[in-house]
Amino acid sequence: MNKEDLYIDGKWTPRQGPQTDVFSPVTRARVGSVPEATAGEVEAAVQAAAAAFPSWAATPAEERAALLNRLADLLEERRELFIDVIMMELGAPRQLVERVHVALPLAVLRSTARLARNFEFEETAGNSTIYREPIGVVAAITPWNYPLHQVTAKIAPALAAGCTTVLKPAELTPLTAYTFAEAVHDAGFPAGVFNLVSGPGSVIGEALSLHPQVDMVSFTGSGTVGRIVARDAAGTIKRVALELGGKSASLIADDVDGDFLAAAVTASVANAFLNSGQTCSAWTRLLVPASKYGEVKALAAAAARKFVPGQNLGPMISERQRERVREFMAQAEAEGFETITGGTGADIPETGWYVQPTIYGKVLPGSTLAQEEVFGPVLSVITYQDEDEAVEIANGTVFGLSGAVWAADDSHATALAKRLRTGQVDINGGRYNPLAPFGGFKQSGNGRELGKAGLEEFLEFKAVQR
């Protein structure tokens, strides 16, 4: 799948720069290529977005919402194409791609359209009318782990709010973004409201973060790059929304026993291994009472056996990522943590950037493994003596993105959830909600995506007094 044109000002524009290859993490073969945008093309994309802004901002929210629904219809019609493209460049197994990678963006598009239609863009306070107005040109910089969702979670609310957009997708999974751009084009959005420029983040992403006509950068990715984006954006006082890493805890209370304990452990393992652990909100630490360690160990090992690399568990996105994950594993083993399952010595499929799903036990809360984001299918089981210690461990990282609490009594679970310094908590397997604000406390980022908060992220206040 070779894409030779950039999408600028409502047109597919023949590239001026070189092409970059895209590879399958399953076969390691080249599967396509996309252009590296030049400085001139980035400039043209920003100019197109700036020129399109006044009339898009003035378009009734109802009409913007109708176009988002039209886009959702097209994504649905092209479901099989999106499944193929995501499987090809991300390497995730089909079932996961259908259930999460494609289904979630559809839900987000439709719920964002509904929110925009019902949103109060105007309210009164005393002698003021307060208008909520779109912030302007938004640069969306996305990572590779959920190639369609990451794009949709930024572009849908930005467009719904009346902003115009320039998308810079991840280098490793740009083909999904091109397939998305084709759908945007066919949906009939006005020229310039959405533009796509691909290429290296350090060049294209930097140009967008520095650009005086970009009003906001919405970034998802690593903390390292998030800091660079925030610094680059500071020169022109842009709004910056950052969705960064996590080291979320699943906290099992002492009163969880029997089948309930089995369900809690099984769900926690599945969450840690979701998308091969390449999920920023993954519960990568499982906090259990020391007295239940033996039981948890057996349950966790049994749950992990259901994940088979090459069958229902995809590879790491790249050789580099695989090496990184294996370094974390090697260090954990050198530190003497118990290998409950998997580990560096376990067999892995020959082709593809696979690692064995791995669980380490009795991991020390302050260790590298328990503090840093691994971004692979590696779970740390940590024991605690009492609940205060459990909460302290849960909150004892620089992150605060997500988490889980398991407890027999709902008010006990709620009390525990309230003590966690994190953007989301699921109680006793609470279902994923695309309307819930998603984002982090502390170094997991600032701002929120999805739901009403995700829409408001792209709005300014204007107070008018009479």
Positions marked catalytic: 243, 280
CA distances from 380 to 76, 215, 271, 339 (A): 38, 40, 13, 10
Q: How far is the CB of 245 from ligand ADP (least distance, A)?
A: 9
Of 174 and 357, CB closest to ligand ADP: 174
Q: Which residue has the tokens 């002492």?
A: 254
SS3 state at 33: strand
At its nearest, how many Å lie between ligand ADP and the CB of residue 222? 3
CB of 229 to ligand ADP, least distance (A): 5
Q: Rounded to an integer, what distance in angstroms lies between the CA atom of residue 382 and that of residue 83?
A: 37
Please say which residue, 111 or 275, places its beta carbon nearer to ligand ADP.
275
Q: How far is the CB of 39 from ligand ADP (least distance, A)?
A: 14
Strands 137-141 and 164-168: parallel
Q: Does the protein bind ligand ADP through residue 202 (CB under 6 A)?
A: yes
Q: Out of 86, 170, 340, 391, which residue is the one contacting ligand ADP (CB under 6 A)?
A: 170
Q: Are 295 and 261 in contact (CB under 8 A)?
A: yes
Instruction: Choose between 362 and 442: whose C-beta lies nearer to ligand ADP.
Output: 442
CA 204/CA 36 separation, integer angstroms: 9
Closer residue to ligand ADP in complex, CB, 123/323: 323
Question: Minimum CB separation from ligand ADP for residue 206, in Å?
Answer: 4
Map the footprint of ligand ADP across residues 288-307, applying CB under 6 A.
Answer: none
User: Is 24 in contact with 91 (CB distance < 8 Å)?
Assistant: yes
Report the C-alpha gap between 439 and 430 in whole angstroms: 17
Single-letter residue type at 106: L
Q: Which of 36, 171, 373, 457 binds ligand ADP (CB under 6 A)?
A: 171
**215, 137 in Cβ contact below 8 A?**
yes
The residue whose two tokens read 């006793």 is 428
Site residues for ligand ADP, 84-103, by CB under 6 A, read: none
CA–CA gap between residue 450 and residue 152 (Å, rounded):
10
Question: Binding mask 126-155 vs ligand ADP (x if CB under 6 A, - otherwise)?
Answer: ---------------xxxx-----------
Residue-by-residue DSSP string for 257-305: -HHHHHHHHHHHHHHHHGGGG--TT-EEEEEEEGGGHHHHHHHHHHHHT
Verify binding: residue 277, ligand ADP, rule CB under 6 A.
Answer: no
136 vs 201, which CB is nearer to ligand ADP? 201
Window 219 to 258, contacts with ligand ADP (CB under 6 A): 221-222, 225, 228-229
Determine contact, residues 342/376, Cβ cutoff 8 Å.
no
Closest to ligand ADP by CB, 246 or 365: 246
Nearest distance, CB of residue 375 and ligand ADP, angstroms: 7
Which part of the chain contacts ligand ADP (CB under 6 A), choosing from 177-185, 199-207, 257-265, 295-303? 199-207
Which segment (202-210, 379-387, 418-426, 436-444) binds ligand ADP by CB under 6 A? 202-210
Distances in whole angstroms, Cα of residue 159 to Cα of each of 9, 110, 191, 351, 458: 15, 13, 13, 41, 9
- Of the two residues 202 and 311, which places its CB atom closer to ligand ADP in the complex? 202
Residue with Cβ nearer ligand ADP (162 or 205): 205
Least distance from C-beta 144 to ligand ADP, angstroms?
5
CA distances from 185 to 117, 141, 261 (A): 22, 20, 49
Q: How many CB atoms lie within 10 A of CB 117?
A: 16
Interaction between residue 201 and ligand ADP (CB under 6 A): yes
End-to-end CA distance of the chain: 58
Only segment of 148-156, 168-176, 342-350, 408-416 that touches ligand ADP (CB under 6 A):
168-176
| Residues contacting ligand ADP: total by CB under 6 A | 17
Structure-derived torsion over alpha carbons of residues 418, 422, 428, 431, reported in degrees to the nearest 10? 120
Token pair, residue 158, equals 């930005």
Least Å from the CB of residue 413 to ligand ADP? 32
> Which chain residues interact with ligand ADP by CB under 6 A?
141-144, 168, 170-171, 201-202, 205-206, 209, 221-222, 225, 228-229
